[in-house]
Amino acid sequence: MQELLNRIRPVTETDKELPVFSYSKLEVFKNCPLQYRYKYIEKKYSQDTSIALELGSLCHYVLEQKGRMVAAKQKVDYDKLNNILLDGVSEVDEKTKEKLLGVSQLKRKYFEVWHEADNASGASYDEKIKLFDQVLHKEMEDTEWESTYFERPFEFVWDNKVILKGFIDRIDVKDGQYRTVDYKTSKKVYEQSKLATSLQFGIYALAILNEFGVLPAESKYRFILIDDEQYALTKGWEKRLIKALDKVFGDIEASGKKEIFVPKPTPLCHWCNFCQTNPEATIYRNECEYFSKWTPTQKTFEVNKKWNALENMNPTTKRKLVF
Ligand code: SF4
């Protein structure tokens, strides 16, 4: 724990110039540096949305509302929660800055895919909503762990170099111990290898350490549309997390200095806003030429165009190499 404590500290007024990172920004870089460049350096933000994003935000919001009722020791008003789930909310969500549509509107907006079974869980959205209803009734009924904080914002300085910032879906407390909970709307649970040093929970653990002075006792992914759960951060994660953060920040710095952000085409391109195979991509759909041609119906390793490092080199660096 001491090694972690040596690397973090609270944000002060003098830190305002430090670059700010969230877990998802780091994850984007790890998955594809070129996507990171488009999104965070060139600031190519699009209003693209998807059924997965919209339904995810709605379910998070409904669980947050239940959490606040439980924490206030009120009787859970399931009629109110069901109304939110069905009709959404008229005010703008604080975190997403979007109006949340309810299931009845989402059903109409995404009618082509609403009744389709997904390729991983085999469930349609109607079936997933039924599972979510079960989860909603089961969650936060634990008499040992007290669900205390919801959408908890955090920020701290890592290594005197960057500010790490974000929100934790839920923090449970039991006898001075903490448990961080992240709601996932994925179609399937994670491979075990992804859990051992989860960057997301590692960062949340640092946030808990910075705020409460201890590391969390548990880190739980709760899969709310397939009613499943997994625990992250296995023995020795602290050292592995330091290594992982050093590596990702080192790689980001090196890419920035060379101005080279190499594309990493994988099946994930199909969900990238800069990829023409993504049916939900809009204004930036033709931005990337290096995309993988993989689609759920045509599983191929082919790419549209191979990356050529020399072709994409910054002219100053290229000149240095040539002469
Ligand atoms: S389409 Fe693929 S390679 Fe291109 S930016 Fe997106 S994730 Fe990267």
The DSSP code sequence of 15-84 is GTTS-EE-HHHHHHHHH-HHHHIIIIIS--------HHHHHHHHHHHHHHHHHHHHHTTPPP-HHHHHHH
Q: Is there an atom of ligand 1 within 6 Å of 263 CB?
A: yes
Index of the ligand 1 atom closest to the CA of residue 38? 5
Neighbours of 226 (CB within 10 A): 22
88 vs 56, 91, 96, 284, CA distance in Å? 12, 9, 14, 29
Q: Is there an atom of ligand 1 within 6 Å of 241 CB?
A: no
As a whole number of angstroms, the distance between CA 261 and CA 193 comes to: 26
pLDDT score at 323? 33
List pLDDT tens digits, range 152-165.
999 999 999 999 99
**pTM of the predicted model as reported, rounded to 2 decimal places:** 0.89
Residues in the chain, pLDDT under 50: 318-323
Q: Which of 39, 264, 275, 280 gets mutated to test ligand 1 (max ligand atoms within 8 A of its CB)?
A: 275
Asked whether 149 and 72 are in contact (CB, 8 A), the reply is no
Q: Which two tokens stand for residue 234?
A: 């296995």
Q: Which of 28, 31, 32 gets mutated to test ligand 1 (max ligand atoms within 8 A of its CB)?
A: 32
Index of the ligand 1 atom closest to the CA of residue 35? 5
Asked whether 149 and 189 are in contact (CB, 8 A), the reply is no
C-alpha 244 – ligand 1 centre gap (Å): 22
pLDDT score at 112? 82
Q: Is there an atom of ligand 1 within 6 Å of 32 CB?
A: yes
As a whole number of angstroms, the distance between CA 248 and CA 260 comes to: 15
CA dihedral 244, 250, 253, 259 (to 10 degrees): -90
C-alpha 30 – ligand 1 centre gap (Å): 12
C-alpha 270 – ligand 1 centre gap (Å): 8
Q: Is there an atom of ligand 1 within 6 Å of 55 CB?
A: no
pLDDT score at 309? 79
- Phi, psi at residue 291, to the nearest 5°? -70, 155
Q: Is there an atom of ligand 1 within 6 Å of 209 CB?
A: no
pLDDT score at 111? 86
- Phi, psi at residue 168, to the nearest 5°? -110, 125
pLDDT score at 25? 95
C-alpha 138 – ligand 1 centre gap (Å): 38
As a whole number of angstroms, the distance between CA 108 and CA 16 comes to: 44
CB within 8 Å of 67: residues ≥ 6 apart: 140, 147, 150, 170
pLDDT score at 131? 93
Asked whether 183 and 65 are in contact (CB, 8 A), the reply is no
